[in-house]
């Protein structure tokens, strides 16, 4: 009889900060980029990151209920151009360094670049969130060297072409098998299972129907035995179902966040923190039939 998967971790050690994921948590998005699909450029001044503007946004997100902040210096939206390591470092590291001194929640760095992982960890980042699941050369070893938790996401293709007619014979099976293989590659090179989070990769090389299938059957990925992170905030699947442009997708984002939580996701990555935090708390209250967290 095959062995059962381990129970998902209930807490992550994020550079000395305990990140309790025994109940669902909200990850606030801080895109330090000029070209992210929804909020590109809003935290820049003259094309460079504005530390004062970023600090105000970060403080507001924490006040609104963000449990962790995700800092990204490379847009991975469909069609995005690649960014050099030097440019990504210039965008990300001063932000990580500033926020690590000032913000009392863990910091995640959204990167696929080994040198950025190492430098971000050295300056206070507590989690590595990689949309490429540590597949770049040297990425697994770099992540392992930091000792930090990692989030491995499924994607197919690079941003410039990933949405060109993606096809799967069985999207659930393909995503699950990819994530299983990445877990094996990571644990073989020294990343502890307790430090691994998985992300289905909504919108990354997938049609709207693929995304809906993944969300509807999210429990199947939870059965792998790892905490699940879900990022559906403002994404195109909402527009394709509702007809709403990106600036009118709050209601759709909240609906999908609620479904994700009820289907087992424990980290919800979003732009709209205050509203999502309310949804997450209510979903948790319903699931546990209590009016307040004890």
What is the residue whose two structure tokens read 């992170």?
229
Domain assignment present for residue 213? The answer is: yes
In a domain, residue 121? The reply is yes
Q: Please state which of the ranges 23-27, 82-86, 234-238 shows the lowest mean pLDDT.
A: 82-86
Mean pLDDT (the chain, rounded): 91
Tokens of 4: 């059962």
The active-site residue, picked from 269, 274, 281, 290, is: 269
- Contact between 122 and 10 (Cβ < 8 Å): no
pLDDT band at 80 (very low <50, low <70, confident <90, very high): low
Spell out the residues 6+ positions from residue 174 whose beta carbon is closer than 8 angstroms to its own: 168
- Find out whether 126 and 106 touch, Cβ atoms under 8 Å: yes
Q: Residue 159 has what pLDDT?
A: 65
Q: DSSP class of residue 247?
A: G
Alpha-carbon distance of 58 to 30, in angstroms, equals: 8
Candidates 156, 235, 244, 290; catalytic one? 235
Note whether residue 1 is domain-resident: no
CATH number at residue 82: 3.20.20.20
| Sheet of strand 107-110: strand arrangement | 196-199, 150-153, 127-130, 107-110, 68-72, 25-31, 267-270, 229-230
- Beta strand pairing call for 68-72 and 25-31: parallel
Is 19 within 8 Å of 8 (Cβ atoms)?
Answer: no
Measured between alpha carbons, how far is 39 from 136 in angstroms, rounded to an integer?
26
In a domain, 2, yes or no: no
**Domain span at 169:** 11-288
Q: Are 83 and 32 in contact (CB under 8 A)?
A: no
- Does residue 134 belong to any structural domain of this protein? yes
pLDDT over 70 percentage in the chain: 89
**Is the confidence at residue 182, as pLDDT, over 70?**
yes
Cβ–Cβ under 8 Å, residues 36 and 72: yes
The pLDDT tens digits of the residues spanning 103-143 come to 999 999 999 999 999 999 999 999 999 999 999 999 999 99
**Token reading at 233:** 């905030």
Q: How many CB atoms lie within 10 A of CB 184?
A: 10
How far apart are alpha carbons 170 and 213 in whole angstroms?
10
| In the chain, alpha helices (H) | 51-64, 85-102, 114-122, 139-146, 171-188, 208-216, 218-222, 236-242, 250-262, 273-288
Res 2: pLDDT: 45
> Concatenated DSSP letters for 63-99?
HHT-SEEEEESS--STTPPP--HHHHHHHHHHHHHHH
pLDDT at residue 217 tops 90: yes
Active site residue 235: yes
With beta carbons less than 8 A apart as the criterion, state whether 230 and 26 touch. no
Looking at residue 229, its pLDDT comes to: 98
Lowest model confidence (mean pLDDT) among 24-28, 31-35, 68-72: 31-35
Residue 66 lies in a domain: yes
In a domain, 154, yes or no: yes
**Span 7-36, average pLDDT:** 90
Q: Report in angstroms the alpha-carbon separations of 290 from 40, 67, 167, 265, 285.
A: 39, 21, 43, 19, 5
User: What's this model's pTM, rounded to 2 decimal places?
Assistant: 0.92
Residue 215 located in a structural domain: yes
- Of the pLDDT bands very low, low, confident and very high (cuts 50, 70, 90), residue 44 is low
Q: How many domains does the chain have?
A: 1
Cα-atom radius of gyration of the chain, to the nearest Å?
A: 18
Active-site annotation holds for 156: no
């Amino acid at each position: 009889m095959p062995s059962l998967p381990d129970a998902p971790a209930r807490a992550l050690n994020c550079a000395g900060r305990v990140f309790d994921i025994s109940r669902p948590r909200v990850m606030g998005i801080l895109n330090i980029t000029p070209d992210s699909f929804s909020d590109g450029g809003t935290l820049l001044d003259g094309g460079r990151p504005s530390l004062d503007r970023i600090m105000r946004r970060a403080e507001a997100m924490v006040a609104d209920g963000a449990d962790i902040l995700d800092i990204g210096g490379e847009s991975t939206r469909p069609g995005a151009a690649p960014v050099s390591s030097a440019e990504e470092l210039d965008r990300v590291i001063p932000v990580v360094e500033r926020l690590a001194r000032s913000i009392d929640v863990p910091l995640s760095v959204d990167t696929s670049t080994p040198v950025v992982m190492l430098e971000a960890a050295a300056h206070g980042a507590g989690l590595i969130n990689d949309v490429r699941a540590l597949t770049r050369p040297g990425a697994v070893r770099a992540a392992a060297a930091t000792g930090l938790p990692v989030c491995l996401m499924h994607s197919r293709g690079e941003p410039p072409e990933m949405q060109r007619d993606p096809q799967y014979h069985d999207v659930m099976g393909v995503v699950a098998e990819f994530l299983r293989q990445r877990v094996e590659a990571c644990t073989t090179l020294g990343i502890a299972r307790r430090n691994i989070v998985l992300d289905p990769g909504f919108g990354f090389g997938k049609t709207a129907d693929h995304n809906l299938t993944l969300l509807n059957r999210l429990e199947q990925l939870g059965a792998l035995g790892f905490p699940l992170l879900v990022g559906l905030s403002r994404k195109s699947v909402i527009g394709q179902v509702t007809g709403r442009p990106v600036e009118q997708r709050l209601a759709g984002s909240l609906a999908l966040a609620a479904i994700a939580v009820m289907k087992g996701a424990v980290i919800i990555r979003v732009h709209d923190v205050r509203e999502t935090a309310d949804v997450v708390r209510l979903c948790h209250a319903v699931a546990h039939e209590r009016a307040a967290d004890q």
